[in-house]
Amino acid sequence: MIRILGIDPGSQRTGIGIVDVDAAGKLSHVFHVALAVAGEDSFPQRLKRIFEGVDDVIAAHRPVECGIERVFMARNADSALKLGQARGAAICAVVHRGIAVHEYAATEVKKAVVGGGRSDKSQVQHMIGILLGLKGPIQADAADALAIAVAHAHTRSSLERVGIARTAWRRRW
Amino acid sequence: MIRILGIDPGSQRTGIGIVDVDAAGKLSHVFHVALAVAGEDSFPQRLKRIFEGVDDVIAAHRPVECGIERVFMARNADSALKLGQARGAAICAVVHRGIAVHEYAATEVKKAVVGGGRSDKSQVQHMIGILLGLKGPIQADAADALAIAVAHAHTRSSLERVGIARTAWRRRW
């Protein structure tokens, strides 16, 4: 069984999700949270909250691999700079723990969860609930984080079936 | 005496500089380096190098305050995203150590070092060498990092003279 961390970073809210995938590709939900950081005094303090929030989740649940959404193009330079800093903070917390980060395009994530690359956010939220047997609605950013973890779980299972193991550095624990 | 860290983050090279400033505002050079990260395998690995590079410098020299350049507008969304992630990694290393981060506009930094807000990069390099009594040329990003530290040293000295102490959280050492 492999424990996977999914992250959907943002400068307002960062979604963090954890799923387990067994040798047969069966998924189980472990944890999810949407870390709200917009209320912090300063932007550096937001980054601290993201870094330490991701680090706390890793310490508590000890995932061994991580998936994160690849950003192709942000809306504009200003939002790209904010998103970039949030993403940098989240990735640092992961790589500092010696966990490999795998990047997935939004279309790959949607395909893994809903089956189509053009589905909207609410479909992802809905399908993640069904796939992981969760009761009640899940916050959108947390659902996206779980979806990224599921996308990585699918990808690594397919690769293992055809005998191509993704190189993953071992954890530092 | 206050030890100040200056950082000029970038996804190719991150400049890190440290200066001491005494009660009379006198500056002394402590350390500078330009951390080249472009050769890393993946972007997450670059961020790891930046985070750990800044963290190593903090561990070795123990600065108590930090200055970083404020980014108003990046060239385009793609470069903003890269710069943002590098900046996020550097800031995380600082705030994770409990050090306050102060942001300065490029014009404020140039004014503190050269006396004018419109001076070019080579003037900053030259003047930093003279101000800190350094022999030989300094790499441009390292010079920028020292310039930001000097800008913060000047600002905090002026503020102290008029009796306004900047709130700085104490280090965690």
d(CA B140, CA B9): 12
Name the residue in chain B with its Cα closest to that of A75: B77
Structure tokens at B48: 């790891």
pLDDT at B56: 98
Q: For B42-78, write each residue's pLDDT tens digit.
A: 999 999 999 999 999 999 999 999 999 988 666 788 8
* CB-based contacts of B106, cutoff 8 Å, min separation 6: B69, B70, B72, B117
How confident is residue A76, by pLDDT bands cut at 50, 70 and 90? confident
On the question of pLDDT at A161 being above 70, the answer is no
**Domain with B49 in it:** 2-170
- pTM given for the model: 0.87
Across the interface, whether the CB atoms of A74 and B86 are under 8 A apart is answered no
Q: Which residues of B are catalytic?
A: 8, 69, 141
Name the residue in chain B with its Cα closest to that of A96: B48
Q: For A77-97, write each residue's pLDDT tens digit.
A: 888 999 999 999 999 999 999
Residues of B forming the annotated binding site? Answer: 8, 69, 141
How confident is residue A162, by pLDDT bands cut at 50, 70 and 90? low
Q: Position B106: which residue type? A: A
Structure tokens at A62: 């000890």
Identity of the residue in A73, A76, A82 whose CB atom sits nearest the CB atom of B84 = A82
With contacts defined as CB-CB under 8 Å, which chain B residues touch A74?
Answer: 77, 80-81
Distance from CA of A165 to the nearest CA of B (A): 18
Nearest to B57 by CA among B21, B99, B105: B99
Percent of residues, chain A, with pLDDT higher than 90: 67
Phi and psi for B38 in degrees, rounded to 5?
-65, -25
Average pLDDT over residues A95-103: 95
d(CA B45, CA B6): 22
**Given the residues A8, A65, A108, A144, the one annotated as active site:** A8
Name the residue in chain B with its Cα closest to that of A86: B88
pLDDT at B74: 67
Structure tokens at B12: 């190719």
Across the interface, whether the CB atoms of B96 and A51 are under 8 A apart is answered yes
Q: What is the CATH number of the domain that holds B63?
A: 3.30.420.10
| Active-site residue flag, A8 | yes
How many C-beta atoms surround the C-beta of residue A168 within 10 A?
15
Tell me how many residue pairs between chain A and chain B have CB atoms under 8 A apart: 105
On the question of pLDDT at B142 being above 50, the answer is yes
Q: Tell me the residues of A at the B interface, defined by beta carbons under 8 Å apart.
A: 42, 44-45, 47-48, 51-52, 71, 73-89, 91-96, 101
How confident is residue B170, by pLDDT bands cut at 50, 70 and 90? very low
With contacts defined as CB-CB under 8 Å, which chain A residues touch B52?
Answer: 96
pLDDT at B157: 72
Distance from CA of B105 to the nearest CA of A (A): 15
d(CA A67, CA A31): 15
pLDDT at A164: 47
Identity of the residue in B47, B81, B94 whose CB atom sits nearest the CB atom of A74 = B81
Query: Which of the residue ranges A28-32, A102-106, A116-120, A144-148 would you say has the lowest mean pLDDT?
Result: A116-120
d(CA B71, CA B83): 9
d(CA B4, CA B14): 16
Average pLDDT value for chain A: 88
Distance from CA of A54 to the nearest CA of B (A): 12
Number of structural domains in chain A: 1
Average pLDDT over residues A105-131: 86
Q: For B72-109, write each residue's pLDDT tens digit.
A: 666 788 889 999 999 999 999 999 999 999 999 988 99
Q: How far apart are the first and last CA of chain A?
A: 17
Q: What is the DSSP string of B147-166?
A: HHHHHHHHHHHHHHHTT-PP
Q: For B144-162, write each residue's pLDDT tens digit.
A: 999 999 999 998 877 665 5
Q: For A2-40, write each residue's pLDDT tens digit.
A: 999 999 999 999 999 999 999 888 999 999 999 999 888
Bridge-based pairing state of the strands A13-21 and A2-8: antiparallel
Average pLDDT over residues A110-121: 81
Cβ pair B69, B109 in contact under 8 A:
yes
Average pLDDT over residues B120-139: 90
Q: For A49-61, write each residue's pLDDT tens digit.
A: 999 999 999 999 9
On the question of pLDDT at A74 being above 70, the answer is no
Across the interface, whether the CB atoms of A84 and B89 are under 8 A apart is answered no
How confident is residue A163, by pLDDT bands cut at 50, 70 and 90? low
How confident is residue B121, by pLDDT bands cut at 50, 70 and 90? confident
Identity of the residue in B84, B92, B94 whose CB atom sits nearest the CB atom of A84 = B84
Distance from CA of B44 to the nearest CA of A (A): 6
**Given the residues A65, A108, A141, A144, the one annotated as active site:** A141
Q: What is the DSSP letter of B135?
A: -
Across the interface, whether the CB atoms of A48 and B80 are under 8 A apart is answered no
